Chain A
Amino acid sequence: MAASDDVAHLMRRAGFGATASEVAAMSAMSIPQIVAQLVDDVVTPPDTNPPAFFSDPNFQEWEYDYKLQQWWLDRMATSPKPLQEKLTLFWHGHLCSQNSKVGDAKLMYDQNKLFRDAGMGNFRSLIHTMSIQPAMLHYLDNAYNTAGDANENFARELMELFTLGVNQYSQADVAAAARAWTGYNVDDNDRKQFVFYPNRHDTGPEVFMGQSRSWTGPGIIDFLLTENTGTKMVAAKFIVKKLWTFFAYPSPAQNIIDELAQVFYNNDLEMKPLLTALFNRAEFYSNAAKQGLVRSPTEWIASIMKYTGYQATELNPQWSMPDMGQQLFEPPNVAGWKSNQYWLNASALWERCDFVANSVINHMFNWNNDPNVNTTIRDTLNTIIGSNSPNRFVDAVDYALVSFGIFNVSPNTRRCLVAAVTRQWHNGWDQRAWANLVMLVVLSPEFNLS
C-alpha cells in the first residue's frame, strides 16, 4: 500500500494534483499499480474532433485561439487520465509550435490532439507524424523547403532540439537533411494540409551522416531512430533527461539517465515502458524530487481549477498567463519553456497574485449569488471560522490546506496561515477571513511547488 504522501506527489507530477478522497482511494493500491493505471493511452474522456467552438462561425481567429487555451485548461483540470494531459503539455514544450507564427488555432489543435493521442505511444512514430503536420511545417518553415532553395530550419531542429541534442551532427548533416526534407510542404491553395510535391523534392544523392543515398525526410527519422543504433541511444538519453527534468527535477544523475534510456532503447522507443520505469524509480519519491520543481503557470492554474471546480470560462486565466510567462500554444521559442527560476521573477509572480485576488476570489465570493458557482470552500470555511470551537482557526487552516491538495504542510506555512486568519478575525464575523485564507493558501510556497 502506497504512502499517501508519495501518492499525492505522484499525482501532482503525473497530473495536476489529487483531492484528499482521490489520494485515499489510490493509497489502497501500490505505486506500481497506480502507475499502471496512469500509463494508459486510451484517450479519456474521448476527444471530440474538433472541439465544438471551432464550428461556430461567429468567432474570429483570435477567439479560436483563446478558446482553445480554455478548452485545454479545462481538460487538464478535469481529466480522469491526467497524465495524458500532462504529457501533452510536455510534448507541447518539446516539439514546439507558436500560434503567432502558425496563425491557425485549428492547426494548433491538430498538433495538440496528436500529442494526446500518440504521446504515450512510440516516440519515432510521434516524430514522423509531428514532422508533417501543418503546424510544424509552418512553424519551422518546411512549408517553404524546396529543391534548389533548401530551408534548414526544420532539419536542424529535428536533430538539435527534437531528437538528438546539440553537437550530435555536423552542419553538413543539417544541409543534407534539409535537402532530404524538400518537397514536404503544405497545400499551395489552402495552406492547411500536408502535401508532398515530388517535383520540389531534391532526389539527391545527399551524404547524411556518412551515408550517400537518395534520402527522404522520413528516411532521415528512420535512420536516426532505428537504423543507426548510436543516434538511437543518443536520442533515448536526450528524451529521458528532458522527461526527468519535467517530471522529477533538473540535472539528474547520469545513472538515472543511462538506466532509463536503456529501458527506452530496449523497448524500441515506446513511451509507456519508459514512463512506467520513471514513475516507479525510488529517486522519483526522494526529498529532492518532492521539493524539486516549481509549478509552471499552467500547472498552477489547472490545479486551482481542479480544487475549486471552476472552469476556464469562469476564471479566464488565458488573459493573465502571458504576464505569468506561459501562454499555451505560444511557447517562447522552438526550445520551449524552462523550469524553476524561469517562473520566479517578481513581475510574473505579481501577475499570479493579481489573478488570485481579482479572478479566483472574486468568483468564489459569488456576488450575484449564481447557484451554478461552487462556493463549498467559502461556505465551509465560514462555518468553521464562525463556530465557537477554540480550535476554529487551526481547523480552518487545515481544511483550506486539504481543499487545495496540501496534505503535508510545513510548520512555517501552517503557523503563518493560523496567525493570518487569527489576525483577520478582528471584529467578529468577517468575509475577508475565509478570502484571505484561501488567497494565502493558493499563494503559499506549498501550492506553488509542484
Chain B
Amino acid sequence: MPALTDPDVVAMRDALSYPETNQHFSRRRFLQATAVAGGGVAMGPMLSHLEAFAAPPLRTNDTILVLVMLSGGNDALNMVVPHNESNYHALRPTIGLMPNETLNINANVGLHPSLVKLKARYDAGDVAVVQGIGYNPPDFSHFTSMGYWMQGWGGPAQPYATGWIGRYLDGLPNAATESLYAVTLNTNGVPLHLVGNQGRGSALPMSVDGRFGVDRGNQDDARLFDGLASFAAAGQTGLGRWGDTIAQSHAQVLRLAGRIAPAYPQNPNSDWFARQMELVAGLVNHNLGIRVFNVTLDGFDTHTNQLQNHADLMTSLDAGIEALFTKLNPSWAANVVALTFSEFGRRVQENDGGGTDHGTSGAAFVVGPRVNGGVYGAQPSLANNSLDDWYGNPSATVDYHSVYATLLQKWLNADDKQVLGKNYAQLGFIGSHP
C-alpha cells in the first residue's frame, strides 16, 4: 500500500474531498476526475515479453462480477420500501409508495413497482436484497461518498489512490500487464475502484464502429494497422524505455480492437443502460477473460420530481438486469453475479419539490443464479427518535465493506482482509460457487 506521504496519494484524498458547492460538477465529471486521477497511479514499466490484452480465457468454474453503479445517490427507501416503518408514509406524503402499489416480498418490504422482472427473479431465489447499507459517520458529498465506496478500504493507512477491485486485481497473475481483467463501460476513463497498485482496468467504448484497428476489411486500413504494429515487432525501438512502451502500447491498442470487436452486439438496445448490460453479456459470452465489469446508470440525484424520475430509473434498472441475464449464454449465466451500489441513500423526508435530498442508509441488490435469495441486513428504524438531529437521517446498519467482503471471499475466491484492510462480517448471500 502506498504510504501517506506519497504526493499522489494525498492528491487523491483532496480530489475526493471537495464539498459539493457547484452544480456544474456533474456525476459524470466526478467519475472522469477520479478516473484520470487513477491513471496517475505509478505502475511499473511494461515488460516487452509480456503480452497485455491476452487475458487467459475463463475456465468453467471462474466467476464474474458485474458492478452496477447507480450514480447520484439512489433513493433506497423507494426502491426497497419498508412498509412497517409508519414514519416512512408520514414523512413522504406525496412520493411514498403504498403497500398496494409495491411488489411485496414479505409483510414488511416491497420492491418498487417498476421492478417487475427483478421481482420474478427474487421469487425464483436469485436476488438478495441488502437493507441498511452504508457507513458511519455519513458524508453527504457525492464526491466524497462515492470515493469511500470506490476505495473500499478499512485498514489503518488509507490507500487513497487505489480501489477495492484494483487491489483484488493486484492478486491475479500478471496483474501489472493484464488490462482486460476488469473493464468499465460508459465512463470516461477508468474509475478509482478499478485502479490497484499494479492492476488496472480498461475503459471500453460503447461502440467500436469505425474505430481505429477494428475493421480490417479495407486493405489500406489493414496495411496502416500493420504498419503501426510493426514499430514494436523488433522488440526494441532503440529509443529507450518510453519509446519501447509507446510502440508496444500501440500494438496493444490494435490487439484490443481486434479482440473485443466481435463481442459487440449487432443491434444494440435503445435503452442506454440495457445497452451496457447487453454489451457485458456479449463480452462474457466471447470469453475474453474479463472478471469484473463496471456499468453506470446515471441520474439518481432526484432532488425534484422524484416520483416520475425514479420510476424511469427503476424501469431501466429492471430492464438492464433482465437484459444481462437473458443475453448471457446459459453456460455462463451461473458464473455471473451483479451488485448494485450507490454513494448514499436519500433523505427520509421529502422536500418541497417532490424530491429528496442527500441522505445516508441505502440498499443493494445482489443478483445471479448462485445467489442465496432473501433479505439481508436490517432496515434502520425511521422513528423520529432514531433519526439524526440535523437532517433526520437514519444510521446505516450494514457496513458496505461487508458486501465487498462477502463477494471477495465467497464469489471471487480472494483474500477479503488483504483487499479491504480489515476483517468484515460476512453476509450469507452467496449460495454456491461454480
A335 and B14 within 8 A (CB)? yes
Interface residue ranges, A against B (CB under 8 Å): 98, 100-103, 138, 141, 144, 153, 156-157, 160-161, 165-167, 287, 291-294, 322-323, 325-326, 332-335, 337-338, 340-342, 344-350, 353-354, 357-358, 410-413, 416-417, 419-420, 423-424, 426, 430, 432, 436, 439-440, 443-446, 448-449
Query: Hey, which chain A residues are within 8 Å of B256, CB to CB?
Result: 346, 350
Closest Cβ neighbor of B35 among chain A residues: A332
B231 and A412 within 8 A (CB)? yes
The distance in angstroms between the C-alpha atoms of A334 and B33, with both chains bound, is 10
The distance in angstroms between the C-alpha atoms of A167 and B6, with both chains bound, is 10
Given contacts A141-B18, A335-B40, A446-B239, 9 further A-B contacts (CB under 8 A): A100-B26, A138-B22, A141-B19, A335-B14, A416-B233, A436-B224, A445-B231, A445-B242, A445-B243
Query: Hey, which chain A residues are within 8 Å of B190, CB to CB?
Result: 345, 347
Q: Mark B1-28, 1 if CB is under 8 A from A, else 0.
A: 0000101101110110111011011100
- Given contacts A100-B29, A341-B45, whether A323 and B246 have CB atoms under 8 Å apart is no
Selected A-B contacts with CB under 8 Å, 9 pairs: A161-B7, A335-B8, A341-B43, A347-B190, A350-B212, A410-B237, A416-B227, A417-B227, A446-B239
Tell me if B281 is interfacial: C-beta within 8 Å of chain A. no
- Given contacts A294-B246, A445-B231, whether A413 and B237 have CB atoms under 8 Å apart is yes
B22 and A449 within 8 A (CB)? no
Tell me if B234 is interfacial: C-beta within 8 Å of chain A. yes
Most buried by B among A349, A350, A430: A350
Beta-carbon contacts under 8 Å, B127-161 to A: none
B90 to chain A, nearest CB (A): 34
A411 and B238 within 8 A (CB)? yes
B243 and A424 within 8 A (CB)? no
Query: Hey, which chain B residues are within 8 Å of A333, CB to CB?
Result: 11-12, 14-15, 33, 37
A426 to chain B, nearest CB (A): 8
Tell me if B32 is interfacial: C-beta within 8 Å of chain A. yes
Chain A to chain B: the 6 pairs with minimum beta-carbon distance, closest first:
A335-B11, A333-B15, A291-B240, A420-B227, A353-B212, A332-B36
Tell me if B284 is interfacial: C-beta within 8 Å of chain A. no
B211 and A354 within 8 A (CB)? yes
Query: Hey, which chain B residues are within 8 Å of A291, CB to CB?
Result: 239-243
Tell me if B228 is interfacial: C-beta within 8 Å of chain A. yes
Closest Cβ neighbor of B208 among chain A residues: A350
A432 and B220 within 8 A (CB)? yes
Beta-carbon contacts under 8 Å, B21-56 to A: 21-22, 24-26, 29, 32-37, 39-40, 42-43, 45, 52-53
A197 to chain B, nearest CB (A): 18
Contact partner, B10, options A160, A350, A419, Cβ 8 Å: A160
B242 and A294 within 8 A (CB)? yes
Closest Cβ neighbor of B4 among chain A residues: A166
The distance in angstroms between the C-alpha atoms of A413 and B233, with both chains bound, is 11
B239 and A410 within 8 A (CB)? yes
Contact partner, A412, options B29, B40, B238, Cβ 8 Å: B238
Tell me if B189 is interfacial: C-beta within 8 Å of chain A. yes
B223 and A334 within 8 A (CB)? no
B195 to chain A, nearest CB (A): 11
Contact partner, A353, options B39, B213, B230, Cβ 8 Å: B213
Closest Cβ neighbor of B218 among chain A residues: A432
B241 and A346 within 8 A (CB)? no
Interface residue range, chain B? 35 or more
Query: Hey, which chain B residues are within 8 Å of A98, CB to CB?
Result: 33
B236 and A440 within 8 A (CB)? no
Closest Cβ neighbor of B212 among chain A residues: A353
A412 to chain B, nearest CB (A): 5
Closest Cβ neighbor of A357 among chain B residues: B212
B5 and A344 within 8 A (CB)? no
B243 and A449 within 8 A (CB)? yes
A449 and B11 within 8 A (CB)? no
B259 to chain A, nearest CB (A): 11
A103 and B224 within 8 A (CB)? no
The distance in angstroms between the C-alpha atoms of A156 and B10, with both chains bound, is 11
Q: Mark B380-418, 1 if CB is under 8 A from A, else 0.
A: 000000000000000000000000000000000000000
Query: Hey, which chain B residues are within 8 Å of A141, CB to CB?
Result: 18-19, 21
Tell me if B179 is interfacial: C-beta within 8 Å of chain A. yes
Closest Cβ neighbor of B20 among chain A residues: A101
B40 and A332 within 8 A (CB)? yes
Query: Hey, which chain A residues are within 8 Å of B21, CB to CB?
Result: 101, 141, 144
- Given contacts A333-B14, A446-B243, whether A342 and B224 have CB atoms under 8 Å apart is no
Beta-carbon contacts under 8 Å, B253-294 to A: 253, 256-257
Closest Cβ neighbor of B220 among chain A residues: A432
The distance in angstroms between the C-alpha atoms of A354 and B228, with both chains bound, is 13
Closest Cβ neighbor of B225 among chain A residues: A353
Query: Hey, which chain A residues are within 8 Å of B34, CB to CB?
Result: 332
A102 to chain B, nearest CB (A): 8
Closest Cβ neighbor of A143 among chain B residues: B21
A8 to chain B, nearest CB (A): 14
Query: Hey, which chain B residues are within 8 Å of A358, CB to CB?
Result: 210
A445 and B239 within 8 A (CB)? yes
The distance in angstroms between the C-alpha atoms of A165 and B7, with both chains bound, is 8
A217 to chain B, nearest CB (A): 19
A436 and B24 within 8 A (CB)? no
- Given contacts A323-B188, A332-B36, A449-B239, whether A420 and B230 have CB atoms under 8 Å apart is yes
B131 to chain A, nearest CB (A): 34
Query: Hey, which chain B residues are within 8 Å of A156, CB to CB?
Result: 14
The distance in angstroms between the C-alpha atoms of A287 and B241, with both chains bound, is 12
B249 and A439 within 8 A (CB)? no
Query: Hey, which chain B residues are within 8 Å of A340, CB to CB?
Result: 242
B257 and A350 within 8 A (CB)? yes
Query: Hey, which chain A residues are within 8 Å of B238, CB to CB?
Result: 410-412
The distance in angstroms between the C-alpha atoms of A166 and B3, with both chains bound, is 12
A101 and B189 within 8 A (CB)? no
